[in-house]
Amino acid sequence: MPLAFREPTAADHDRIVDMVVRSFAPITWYRKLDARMEPLNGHDWKERFEDRVRAALARQYVIVGESDGRLATYASGDYDPKTRSAFLDLLAVDDDAQRGGLGRQTLREFERRMAEKGALYLHLECLTDNDAGNGLYESEGFFEIARHFHWYKKI
Torsion-angle region of residue 134: left (phi > 0), alpha (psi -120 to 50) or beta?
Answer: alpha
Average pLDDT over every residue of 108-126: 97
pLDDT at position 129: 87
pLDDT for position 98: 75
The answer, yes or no, to whether residue 17 has pLDDT greater than 80, is yes
Lowest mean pLDDT among 9-23, 27-41, 50-64: 27-41
| Confidence tier at 61 by pLDDT (50, 70, 90) | very high
pLDDT of 83 > 90? The answer is yes
> What is the rounded average pLDDT of the residues 125-132?
90
Tell me the CATH architecture of domain 4-139: 3-Layer(aba) Sandwich (3.40)
Confidence tier at 13 by pLDDT (50, 70, 90): very high
What does the pLDDT average to over 26-48?
A: 92
- 3-class SS of residue 75: strand
- In this predicted structure, what is the pLDDT of residue 64? 98
Taking each helix axis from N to C end, the angle separating 29-36 and 45-59, rounded to the nearest 10 degrees, works out to: 150
Domain ranges of the chain: 4-139
pLDDT of 15 higher than 90:
yes
Collapsing DSSP to helix, strand or coil, 142 comes out as coil
Q: What is the largest CA-CA distance in the chain?
A: 50
Per-residue pLDDT band for 2 (boundaries 50, 70, 90) equals: confident
Look up the pTM and report it.
0.92
**Nearest-angstrom CA–CA distance, 5 and 2:** 10
